[in-house]
Amino acid sequence: MTPSGIIPEALLARCRRSAGGRAWLEAVPGLLAARLAAWNLTLDLPPGGAAHAGMWAIVVPVRRGGERLALKLSRPFPETASEAPALRLWDGRGAVRLLEDDPASSALLLERLDAGRRLQDAPFPEAARVWGALVRELSIAPDERPGWGRFERIDAVAERWSDELPERWERLGRPFPRWLLEAGLDVAATRGAVGRRGGRDVLVHTDLHGMNVLAAPGAVAHDGGPSFRAIDPQASVGEAEFAVAPMLWNRLPELAGPDAPAALLERCALLAREGRLDAEAARAWAVLREVENALWYAERPRHEGELARSLWVASSLCSRPLPGLPAVEDLERLD
């Protein structure tokens, strides 16, 4: 544990691998104390308890008066800059409610959700139904409120990838067949800023998978089940279909069997249907995102498992599964 006594070991280990991570760990006790004082909060941890941890953040249960809240402290990254503006625009509709934020310390004060009830753990047809309803609620169009200028445009990202992906693929020694690279580039060309035709610009949670959707304690959905909220948005503006991909790559072992590639395509179509999205656009964006992910993993040592997973997803969505990859149940898991 750090001097704050609350950071889980997995996050400690990740942060200790770099100077920036170690510096953030040393700053956490001071950041925590400052936010507790500034926002009139008290810790709500059991004796010896640790905070919940994300990939690069801790979420500490706190109270203000009788209200049960959550204080999130994130290690500063460019991706975190869009979180507070997006949560303010959603204003508790489909996403966790934001009460306070402090950009200088990347601290957020949030409503407290039930970390033990994730959409990840629901059977997939039920998860797809809840996910689709959330996507429809989160897909708000730009309006006159402040904050919209903080978000990257998805079609501009695709345009940039059109230029970058071929160079990265060559520099890395062509780590997968050219046809798969070209499949991604075709998507970038047709859905990028230059080639795009149609589509509606909305606010998009680009990391909307089952582990980033939690139940709201005490809240009940219209069908009598628990009400869910999205957390940890990496928000952009563009086509809502861009949001489908993370729900495909996060539950792959469930597809075990010879028909796994076809089952993945069926899941993509189901998610699009539940979200009232264009199924082909959803599939295409997922191919491009996984081609880019594959190159990202290929650029970094010790990511062979993640590289194989991205290649399996991208090629299966093209109905041309690459030979030589692990079986779907043996791919690197995301937990």
Paired residues of 95 in beta bridges? 230
Residue 298: closest CA among 134, 200, 171: 171
Q: Are 250 and 210 in contact (CB under 8 A)?
A: yes
Would you list the DSSP string of 137-177?
HH-PPP-SSTTGGGSEEHHHHHHHHHHHHHHHHHHTT--S-
186 tagged catalytic: no
Catalytic residue, chosen from 101, 155, 207, 232, is: 207
**Using CA atoms, how far apart are residues 142 and 148, in angstroms rounded to an integer?**
7
Q: What is the dihedral of CA 121, 240, 333, 2, to 10 degrees?
A: -80
Residue 96: closest CA among 187, 217, 191: 217
Active site residues: 207
